[in-house]
Structure 1
Amino acid sequence: MGTSFWFDQEFIKQDYTEHKLPKGDYENCRFVDCKFAKGFLDNQNFVECSFEGCDFTNTNIAHTIFNDVTFVDCKMVGLQFETCNPLLSTFQFKGCNLSVASFYGMNIPQTLFEDCKLHQVDFTQAQLKECTFHVSDFKDATFDDTDLEQADFTSAINFNIDPTVNHLKKSKFSKDGLIGLLKKYDIVVT
């Protein structure tokens, strides 16, 4: 059975939790309010696609390529992004809930995370150079041996980043956000 190719298509309010999205290459496609939760989205190729209001909770995305893909207002709880095909992986996340997701060891420079919920996300050993984290919430997120060079945290909240075990050269923080770099020292700032 061959791989199918979809170009410039819209998929609206589709439920792929019981019937898997057909295996194939999707280019410049738009997915709106689709359900993938607890399903399989593995071994797919998405190029210049957008996902809007979709539910990916605990979806298997192993070996999938996301090249220039935008996620808007999506529920992406528990996704293991490090299982994706790392070749050409480029994302943008806007208004997404990525809680309990993992980007362990990924190389995703210049990724935009805008107005995202990043509770308990694992960024261990990730390469996040020049990433932007506008108005994103990092409650209980893990940063360990993470490259955050030139990353922008100026409007991010609830992060706890140890500067002694992460790479922060020229990263941007607001004055109010500096406490997130000092939590390990148990300092009281008033």
Structure 2
Amino acid sequence: MEAALHQNKTFDTTDFSDQKLSDNEFINCEFINCNFSKSDFSSIDFLDCTFKNCNLSLAVLKNTGLKNISFTGCKLMGLDFSASNSFLFSMNFQDCMLDYSTFIYKKLKKTYFIDCSLKEVDFSNTDLSLAVFKNCDLSNATFVDCILEKTDFRTSRNYAFDPSENKIKRTKVSHTALAGLLQKFDLEIE
């Protein structure tokens, strides 16, 4: 794709896989059923964009601007969000597969993860205060040195984190998840 400013456009069933999309800017665009697998988004800016039923697995996000982005029904496996631009970084996810992705050192304050698979996602050193994990699978997700204050995990499953290694003031968890929070003590909970 040639360098350009794209505003108020809809891209439907477009194959961008394995392409370098550098020097593009997308403002208020909608991507539907697009394939971005293994694409290079280095130094691209997305502002107020929506992605629906797209595949972005293994895309390169080096210095990518992701500002007020909505992902619905997307496959986002193995993405390194920690490499993206932190300025105005904000996203929400619904019915997405984010397995094996990384958010290290990102500010995800008030981010919504709804009906998502987040298996083995690395949230180390992430600010997840006021974030909502609604009906998500967090199997083997990593939470170390995170801000989890007022984060809502109540309807999610398979999450575990050490309360002594995270800021957890007023974190919302279900009583069934207490075993995952006490895992390091090797207790036998009945």
TM-score (norm 1): 0.95
For 1:181 and 1:13, how far apart are their aligned partners in 2? 43
Question: 2:81 corresponds to which residue?
Answer: 81
Q: Identical aligned pairs, as a percentage?
A: 31
For 1:21 and 1:74, how far apart are their aligned partners in 2? 19
For 1:55 and 1:145, how far apart are their aligned partners in 2? 30
For 2:38 and 2:76, how far apart are their aligned partners in 1? 11
Shift of 1:18: 4.1
Contact 2:100–2:122 (Cα < 8 Å) also in 1: yes
Shift of 1:3: 5.0
Matching of residue 180 in structure 1 with residue 180 in structure 2: yes
Q: Deviation string for 1:123-166 (max 9, x for gaps)?
A: 11111111100001110111111111110001010011100111
Question: 1:90 corresponds to which residue?
Answer: 90
Question: 1:50 corresponds to which residue?
Answer: 50
Shift of 1:62: 0.9
Shift of 1:12: 0.6
For 2:95 and 2:3, how far apart are their aligned partners in 1? 32
Question: 2:117 corresponds to which residue?
Answer: 117
Contact 2:21–2:44 (Cα < 8 Å) also in 1: no
Question: 2:159 corresponds to which residue?
Answer: 159
For 1:137 and 1:18, how far apart are their aligned partners in 2? 29
One-letter amino acid of the counterpart of residue 29, structure 1: C
Question: 1:16 corresponds to which residue?
Answer: 16
For 2:142 and 2:132, how far apart are their aligned partners in 1? 17
Distance 1:185 1:31, change over 3 A: same
Distance 1:14 1:161, change over 3 A: same
TM-score (norm 2): 0.95
For 1:137 and 1:150, how far apart are their aligned partners in 2? 19
Q: Aligned-residue CA RMSD in angstroms? A: 1.4
Question: 1:40 corresponds to which residue?
Answer: 40
Would you identify which runs of 4 or more consecutive aligned residues in structure 1 move more than 4 Å?
Answer: none
For 2:163 and 2:81, how far apart are their aligned partners in 1? 25
Unaligned runs of at least 5 residues, structure 1? none
For 1:15 and 1:122, how far apart are their aligned partners in 2? 28
Which SS does the other structure have where 1:164 is aligned? helix
Contact 2:18–2:38 (Cα < 8 Å) also in 1: no
Question: 1:7 corresponds to which residue?
Answer: 7
